[in-house]
Amino acid sequence: MQDIKSFTLEELKSEIEKLGEKPFRAKQLYQWMHQKLARSFDEMTNLPFSLREKCTREYEYTSIKEVKMQESAIDGTRKYLFELKDGSLVESVWMKYKHGNSVCISSQVGCRMGCAFCASAIGGLERSLTPSEMLDQIYAVTLLTGERVSNVVVMGTGEPLDNYDALLRFIRLLTDENGLHISQRNLTVSTCGLVPQMLKLADEQLQITLALSLHASSDEKRKELMPVANKYSIAELMEACRYYFEKTKRRITFEYSLVGGVNDRPEDAERLAELTKDLNCHVNLIPVNPIKERDFVQSKGAEIASFKNKLEKNGINVTIRREMGRDIDGACGQLRRRQKALQ
Ligand code: SAH
């Protein structure tokens, strides 16, 4: 059965026509799914019963179930564990900021990129998510919190550019005026640096923010932390970032997780400054979230401060990521791992 929530409005129109229904029904259906966030055809009360029945017969309607929720006592951040129809588990995080609510979603069940410090890499990739399963995380969080989501970051479990077609479709649906209509500028996609897909994404001419997980300023060090560095060099990555900026005029964000004694030395900062200083970018320093399966530790406060200082002296725009939800299973993928261990 085809997944009705992953159709664009145009595609839905031709589906509706095939069913012998009036074309205006397509928009009604679309708005029920993507604006009113209906959880089933049964909720679509102004559609004729016969149409709802036909849809139930013809299409799959995805939905996700809340399995667990942890709320931070410090900052109100909520981490949700959701179960998909096939029993797969994904995590999503809801964060409240002054400027609005943000949701961090997963793009895959597990991940095959194998980054050394990341909990999501441990079990490998189970499967990619469909566009509707990415949307459902945002829809469920909206319904559960009763609050509007204004920003979306694709920074949960998975490598979004390893699920390229579904990601693109997800972006189109999320930003569509007949859906939640979230502005492309309020959407960030984070990648470990798959160069061919980054170039392709640049050509789509979207206004989304691209975040690149760099985490090291030499190829040698990067290879220790991220297997993907064996495939693409930092020089190639920088070239791809430059191209992305030229095409979209959107400033790139570099993510750099500081791992104590590994990538936080003065020479690491100097090389990072050298790499980024003539790029229109922003560097986000993230104190690494230690996971129990690995023995990485956070950099000390003084080292983080001097790392930041070095970049700033070179005129680089830099922030230290505020740690949200420290008390609720910090690192990405941890909640999912813990649940699986219990099962
Ligand atoms: N695959 C994508 C998006 C998912 S990870 C990517 O690599 O960008 C989101 C961000 O969290 C990435 O920058 C990732 O490197 C980082 N990350 C993963 N585990 C972490 C940990 N334990 N501590 C700090 N950052 C981590």
- Domains in the chain with CATH codes: 2-60 (1.10.150.530), 65-342 (3.20.20.70)
What is the arrangement of strands in the sheet containing 318-320, beginning at the earlier edge strand?
A: 65-71, 78-83, 89-97, 100-104, 151-154, 187-191, 209-213, 252-258, 281-287, 318-320
Catalytic residue among 15, 21, 91, 255: 91
What's the whole-number mean pLDDT along residues 246-266? 96
Active site residue 241: no
Is ligand 1 within 6 A of the CB of residue 121?
Answer: no
Q: Which two tokens stand for residue 292?
A: 């129990």
At 295, the pLDDT band (50, 70, 90 cuts) reads confident
Report how far residue 144's alpha carbon sits from residue 147's, in angstroms, rounded to the nearest whole number.
8
Q: Which atom of ligand 1 is nearest to the CA of 211?
A: 8
What's the whole-number mean pLDDT along residues 296-316? 94
Q: Whose CA is nearest to atom 10 of ligand 1?
A: 155
Active site residue 55: no
Question: What does the mean pLDDT of the chain come to?
Answer: 94
Question: At 16, which amino acid appears?
Answer: I
Least confident window among 125-129, 171-175, 186-190, 334-338: 334-338
At 98, the pLDDT band (50, 70, 90 cuts) reads confident
Does residue 322 register a pLDDT over 70? yes
